[in-house]
Amino acid sequence: MKFNLEVYLNLSADANLAQNVLNEFFNNEANIIIQKGAPAGHGAKIIEYNVNKNIIKLVIESDQYVRAHDALLRLRKPLASIMGKEFKIGIRQINIEKFTIEIESEKPVNNKIPYVKNISFKDGIIKLELDAGTSGTLGQSELENRIPDRIINLIEEKLEDYGGKSEHWELLWESAPKSFNFDKDPTKEMMKEGWIKRGYNRGQWIYGPEATHLFRTFEKIVLKEVIEPLGYSEMIFPKLVPWEVWMKSGHAQGVYPEIYYVCPPKTRDPEYWEEVIDHYKVSQEIPLEIIKDKIDLPIGGMCYAQCPSFWGFLNKTTLPTDELPIKVFDRSGTSHRYESGGIHGIERVDEFHRIELVWLGSKEQTLEQAEKLKARYKFIFEEILEIQWRKAWVTPWFMAQEGKSGLADMEGAGTVDYEAIMPYNDNWIEIQNLSVNAEKYTKGFNVKSQNQEPLWSGCSGVGLERWASAFISQHGLNPENWPEKFKKYFGEMPKGIQTL
């Protein structure tokens, strides 16, 4: 890896009087500073410098051991010190004229990269020409904010081609095979019976009294068999998630293709919207192109995963040790995920209903709570729902979001997927998951414990559409064929809505 950086330091006064001192600094002390920590013969070096009144020009070349932009930042303070102490001259601004980075590679990168003006590939070298200069986007603040390092990390990620890797999946446990008296698509059968109808939006369903009662029964089972015995308290998490939350939770690294964006109006002034209103009155059509110009930039998106919004409640707080573990859950609204071409029935939808459990405490408390939840889920699936199911150790979401595969490197952290067989097509579907997220959230939202020990957290989402799909797929729509313990929870079937 090679770097070439050309910059101009704008000074507060003419530095020609300091020429001798600057010569001494750049020929001696500066080289020691920018090679510190690098193996002998490596690091950064100044290949050109000159002083012209209130401007110092620097050209720095380096390898990966001390990157050129790091070398520049190392020089700034001692240089300012020697000019300020004797000559009362300060550094007002660093202007980047040119910055190129060369990376060895067996293949090119063809993506458009932020802050990069041009990418070329020749003789096993990717050359990045960063967007610097008077009209460029890369300036002093971008150097200080480590933008070049993030560009390199991004290039390396793309070269490793994480997207081509298969995610980890390891079977942990599987229930005994069952015989089924039903082999039809649960969604189609519920539609035939009038339990559900398609909503107006893609991947959206309207649930009639029968299907809704089925959902409420699942909720009742979770409340009675999980929430109450394990002592979880109900909360209401926001369903509109601002960017700040996803930045802290880690979702901002890759959530963009899957979220529904939320854009507020630029103003609520009725006169501003009169054109839209009049257009509809005349044409009886929604003028989307006009509306597009009248709404502001997205402030975030609809809830994609429930638990990130919870953490705003604890952001930058310290928790009493004797209050741990904290255990809460949310069931207050829908989640939304753009499923592209993968929508199918009610088991893969854009708008869905979940019960989300979140817990946090010491590492030991968090792992203990995860095991208690696993035991309760097993009881429900085996003794109440009586479904054929399995669980698998999979790529944790917080690694998958960053394009990585394999298991979490923190012992005990990771994700377990719960899956059920769909007899009508012999496929397994994920019906819920359970993740131990280590310090992913507590560090991201700066949540600490009174005794200063690291805090871990976990989350588990129960998908009501997925439970319904698996249950109906294996047991059918006739309550007479349902497990006895489940029927006690379900009670009487409500009367549906009849149409002619």
2 token code pair: 């090679």
Q: Which amino acid is at 199?
A: G
**Contact indicator for 151, 128 with CB cutoff of 8 Å:** yes
Give catalytic status of residue 376 as yes or no: no
Give catalytic status of residue 70 as yes or no: no
Spot the catalytic one: 348, 350, 386, 437: 348
Spot the catalytic one: 131, 210, 417, 419: 417
Give catalytic status of residue 356 as yes or no: yes
Sign, Cα dihedral of 279, 285, 289, 294: positive
Nearest to 238 by CA among 226, 224, 254, 249: 249
**Contact indicator for 62, 74 with CB cutoff of 8 Å:** no
Phi, psi of 371 (to 5 degrees): -65, -35
**Contact indicator for 3, 81 with CB cutoff of 8 Å:** no
Spot the catalytic one: 97, 219, 225, 430: 430
Give catalytic status of residue 76 as yes or no: no
**Contact indicator for 44, 58 with CB cutoff of 8 Å:** no
The alpha-helical segments, DSSP class H, found in 231-362 are 243-249, 274-283, 288-292, 307-310
Spot the catalytic one: 70, 131, 142, 307: 307
Sign, Cα dihedral of 230, 233, 239, 240: negative
The alpha-helical segments, DSSP class H, found in 380-437 are 397-400
Spot the catalytic one: 330, 433, 437, 465: 433
As a whole number of angstroms, the distance between CA 33 and CA 69 comes to: 13
Q: How many CB atoms lie within 10 A of CB 281?
A: 8
CA distances from 344 to 60, 159, 335, 340 (A): 57, 34, 17, 11
Strand 91-104 with 125-130, pairing: antiparallel
Spot the catalytic one: 129, 225, 258, 339: 339
The most distant pair of C-alpha atoms in the chain lies apart, rounded to whole Å, by: 97
Spot the catalytic one: 337, 354, 437, 465: 337
* Owner of token pair 């109906």: 472
Q: What share of the chain is helix, strand, coil (3-state, %, to 5)?
A: 35, 30, 35
CA distances from 420 to 430, 472, 479 (A): 7, 11, 20
Give catalytic status of residue 202 as yes or no: no
Spot the catalytic one: 210, 330, 350, 356: 356
Give catalytic status of residue 383 as yes or no: no
Spot the catalytic one: 63, 70, 459, 465: 459
As a whole number of angstroms, the distance between CA 79 and CA 329 comes to: 56
* Strand (E) or helix (H) holding 440: helix 440-444
Q: Residues for the chain: how many in total? A: 500
Give catalytic status of residue 337 as yes or no: yes
Residue 325: cis peptide before it, omega within 30 degrees of 0: yes
Spot the catalytic one: 74, 331, 354, 466: 466
Phi, psi of 54 (to 5 degrees): -100, 25
317 token code pair: 């707080």
Give catalytic status of residue 417 as yes or no: yes
User: So which residues are the catalytic ones?
Assistant: 307, 337, 339, 348, 356, 417, 430, 433, 459, 466
